[in-house]
Amino acid sequence: MKVLALNYGSSSIKFLMAESRPSHDMLYPLGRGSIDGIGTSQSTLRLYFSDRPPVQESLVATNHTQGTTFLFDHFNLYEEFSPSTIHAVGHRVVHGGDVFTQPTVVNAGVLSTLERLCDLAPLHNPLALKGIQETRTILGESVAMVCVFDTAFHHDMPKVASTYAIPHELATRHHIKRYGFHGIAHASLVQGYVTHRGESHQQDRVISLHLGNGCSITASKGGRSVDTSMGFTPLEGLVMGTRSGDLDPALVNYLAEKEHVTCAEVEKWLNHKSGLLGVSGQSSDMRMLLEAANHNHDEQATLAIDLFCYRARKYIGAYLATLGGAEAIIFGGGIGEASPDIRQRICENLEWCGLQLEPTRNEQAIHLSPGMATCITKDQAHLPAYVVAADEEMLIAQQTVECLTRSNTT
């Protein structure tokens, strides 16, 4: 079976083509890549093959529907990606609400329900829904498709972690609770750690940090989430590229009154003009902020970085208490994988819990292949830390095959 995994981001589509082979449980990657810069004046298509040089092309994709069409047009040029050989497609969907708590085969009823769930994730679910519809148009409805949900990893969090302290009848009526996000990424980080350490570690208590433009931290036990920083929406929790993370909810109405704008406008500020961008006043890109702080001694850039790391360290302490200790800290995501400086800053003052970074290991832990893991702490550290290159697309492909196998045997 040849499986295509599609991962829709706010301005990108990442993909993986993998193949399952008879008598083997593993999926073998045939190629992967991305279209970046969707919605901008220039998009970039990158294709990486298992046995030949990569391909990079410039194009213009004004939206995700057009990006999906371009993707399949290019797939026709390469044998590995030929659409006529695809047996199944797995789609990442950010929000499954209370309805979808595991990978689900796509049908008309599922698509209709996904449309209703767009209110819960208006920035993300519509992108996936359009991608699914376009893929079905291109490949035809005979090709099996599966939705893999970011929220599913967190769906069985304890009620004490998922409940907001608001009137119960309101929470029940409007399905308000802490859903959590980045679940596929966190599941992949845990899977990468377990694979690296061996099956005997699958019941470990671990704290995973997915640090990119969007950031979240999750406490997991036995491979399941028991608490996570994002809540009803992806706005809660850590300081992010353009999102504020945790703040006093009264600020929304306060700013609306003071600035003579609607609460909806303030929410836009908190999602798109806050975080690293808002504090620094210049950029949401951590690389640019580190350059400004380290070489130009920019005070606002320094404050933005310090706040980013402080909030992450604060959550680590909270989740150590939640778990009653941990076997490992895991760093992942664009910043978590690629920035030794940020990892070092986050780990400062955590020696009390046994976390002791080894500087050389930390500096060398970059450019890992998808799914790979490496330790960045000293051998004698009581709380080891790892960098794991999450492979969300492979996890989507794996869960797609598992879902179709279950549906074919029931």
The binding site consists of 7, 14, 92, 210-214, 285-287, 392
Containing H/E element for 105? strand 104-105
Q: Which residues are annotated as a binding site for ATP?
A: 14, 210-214, 285-287
Task: Name 373's bridge partners.
Answer: 388
**Extended beta strands in 244-399, E state:** 328-332, 373-375, 385-388
Q: Which two tokens mark 115?
A: 């449309």
Could you tell me the CA-to-CA distances from 159 to 149, 162, 172, 193, 201 in Å, in that order? 20, 5, 13, 27, 26
Q: Known catalytic residue: 36?
A: no
71 burial class (0-12, 13-18, 19+ CB within 10 angstroms)? Answer: buried
Active-site choice (36, 51, 150, 298): 150
Distance CA 7, CA 75 (A): 16
Count of CA atoms in the C-beta half-sphere (13 A) of 143: 22
Q: Which residues are annotated as a binding site for substrate?
A: 92
Q: What is the DSSP string of 311-326?
A: HHHHHHHHHHHHHTS-
Q: Which residues are annotated as a binding site for Mg(2+)?
A: 7, 392
**Which residues, at least 6 apart from 372, have a Cβ–Cβ distance to it below 8 Å?**
192, 196, 388, 389
Whether 24 and 40 have beta carbons less than 8 Å apart is answered as no
Strands 328-332 and 224-228: unpaired
Of 152, 153, 147, 139, which Cα lies nearest the Cα of 105? 147
Strands 205-211 and 328-332: parallel
Distance CA 28, CA 367 (A): 21
Strands 43-49 and 88-93: unpaired
Of 174, 173, 177, which Cα lies nearest the Cα of 151? 177
**Could you say which DSSP state residue 379 is in?**
T
Strands 27-36 and 43-49: antiparallel
Which residues are part of the catalytic machinery?
Answer: 150
